[in-house]
Chain A
Amino acid sequence: DTEVTQTPKHLVMGMTNKKSLKCEQHMGHRAMYWYKQKAKKPPELMFVYSYEKLSINESVPSRFSPECPNSSLLNLHLHALQPEDSALYLCASSQGGQGARKFFGPGTRLTVL
């Protein structure tokens, strides 16, 4: 199984809503990532979890809250988002280490109204 799954595929939320994005992998990877991607732009790193601990936060606003309940799951909790947060949110996993191959999920298309 070399797949990273993400749910939901699409999400529309208001600025006062609380929602969560979910990501799952069963490849035994110890590093998991959240990226944000605007249309026709490259993905931008948000968070990195290594061995279920947050190792990198790329100065992401606190309205985005990551969580890694176990080695297979990664969540991104959303609260009080702004319309400019609308984007494709990609989850990825890897064995870890510099240059390790990353496997990306299909993403969640988020629209904030």
Chain B
Amino acid sequence: TQLLEQSPQFLSIQEGENLTVYCNSSSVFSSLQWYRQEPGEGPVLLVTVVTGGEVKKLKRLTFQFGDARKDSSLHITAAQPGDTGLYLCAGPYGGATNKLIFGTGTLLAVQP
């Protein structure tokens, strides 16, 4: 059972367009993280959201944590080719352990 479902799975857009990626679960998470992974590299943490309803901005990226802490979204404004990569949400599970479960992933391609 996949606890974190992301949509869309694939997204190909033109430079300058806006986009939103969704991360949904039927489970409550104490926090959710968003990572970006470029080809040939490991995932790099973008943000951690902790409080239900929280909104965080990182330049052109806006992250939101749902009020019920079951979902999150990532909105990118005026996408650039450098935004291309695999976007992964992730959350802790399994109690007070070090387990981190990743979402199903969204592969974004921004065409110049």
Contacts and interface: CB of A to CB of B under 8 A. Distances in A.
Contact of A42 (B44, B98, B105): B105
Contact of A99 (B44, B48, B103, B107): B48
Interface residues of B, number: 27
Interface string B15-27: 0000000000000
B78 interface: no
Interface of B: 30-31, 33, 40-45, 48, 50, 86, 88, 91-92, 95-105, 107
Interface residues of A, number: 29
A55 B97 contact: yes
Given A99-B30, A103-B45, A104-B44, 20 more contacts: A40-B86, A42-B102, A42-B103, A42-B104, A43-B102, A48-B98, A55-B97, A56-B97, A56-B98, A90-B42, A94-B98, A97-B98, A98-B92, A99-B31, A99-B48, A99-B50, A99-B91, A106-B40, A107-B40, A109-B40
